[in-house]
Chain A
């Protein structure tokens, strides 16, 4: 079981985020749910890169070859993921600010009519 548990956790976090996104009654809450969905990708990436007994792939205080290290490629991908996630969140929140100003509500169910 242990050999798939982290992957299942990633899938579970993703599904929880999707559920929140679909049932959300508040756009700010929906942006938060999207961040939860994205967190699933961090768990998945880091789980894919883990090696038993591995340490961080940083050799400033580690003799190269003395210990196994975890996969640095997926760690770099996770960093990219975090940066893109943060910027997209900022952009979406800016959109929510404008929606709240123009329509006076942040409930997606009340935003059905087309205006402008």
Chain B
């Protein structure tokens, strides 16, 4: 198909889709309307389980099974990336060279590192109270480690980041979620039901039943997953390069 013909097909398709979506928009309930039956019920359920952050309650209590699926997608994507970005036979490993970092960058990145790490852990720990939770806090905590790459160099980052252990932590986070769900079943309730722990006093750190525990499991998994993902991409950029002498067959693949 020529490029010109393809553009016509695209224009036709987009025009049709635009017409359908535009028509559908006028059939939707008005923006800002007062009818939110699911929202109202979720707020009531979260308050009855003493969870101040209703979004966390939806994710880790009411829809915890969906979060397990979401977590598994993350786990599978990390696994796929690890497989795709491994060192192949026609590539070699080079030792990264030490890099010179300008002093202000080094200073502020090193100041920011512990602060970012603490903020990440805070966001995970307060997921049941204030906006945040395992997903957000995990990403922040993983970012903190990579400030070392900016502040010093790749070798320093590699020293504090044994990728194997983070891969284990990733799997452990996923497993902890399933185990907490199964524990609820052993307690005589449904899988991942929030029935294991007392709901605690509203708006305190130990409130919400299993929500803080599930948040911690997710936080561990997400932080490890981000570290492993970035490690694989950084390896490709810094450590792995094509062999200087190509094999004798012109287009060899394994």
Chain A residues within CB distance 8 Å of chain B: 2-8, 11, 14-15, 18-19, 22-23, 47-52, 56-60, 64, 68-76, 79-80, 82-84, 87-88, 90-91, 93-95, 97-98, 101-102, 115-116
CA distance in complex: A75, B63 (Å):
12
Given contacts A2-B31, A7-B25, A115-B251, are A59 and B84 in contact (CB under 8 A)? no
CA distance in complex: A42, B34 (Å):
20
Residue pair B131, A56 in contact (C-beta under 8 Å): yes
CB closest residue in chain B, given A96: B84
CA distance in complex: A50, B28 (Å):
13
User: Which residue of A3, A48, A52, A97 is within 8 Å of B236 (Cβ)?
Assistant: A97
**In the assembled complex, which residues on chain B have CB atoms less than 8 Å from the CB atom of A57?**
39, 42-43, 46, 53-55
CA distance in complex: A102, B251 (Å):
9
User: Which residue of B17, B31, B77, B130 is within 8 Å of A91 (Cβ)?
Assistant: B77
CB closest residue in chain A, given B77: A87
CB closest residue in chain A, given B59: A76
> What is the interface residue range for chain B against chain A?
35 or more
Contacting A at CB under 8 A, from B50-79, are 52-55, 57-59, 63, 66-67, 70, 73-74, 77-78
User: Which residue of A23, A47, A73, A83 is within 8 Å of B31 (Cβ)?
Assistant: A47
CB distance from A71 to the nearest CB of B (A): 3
Chain B residues within CB distance 8 Å of chain A: 6-7, 10, 14, 17-18, 21-22, 24-26, 28-34, 36, 38-39, 42-43, 46-47, 52-55, 57-59, 63, 66-67, 70, 73-74, 77-78, 80-81, 84-85, 129-131, 135, 203, 222, 225, 229, 232-233, 236, 242, 251, 253
Can you list 6 residue pairs at the A/B interface with Cβ under 8 Å?
A50-B32, A68-B34, A73-B58, A91-B84, A97-B236, A115-B251
Residue pair A51, B253 in contact (C-beta under 8 Å): no
**In the assembled complex, which residues on chain A have CB atoms less than 8 Å from the CB atom of B232?**
94
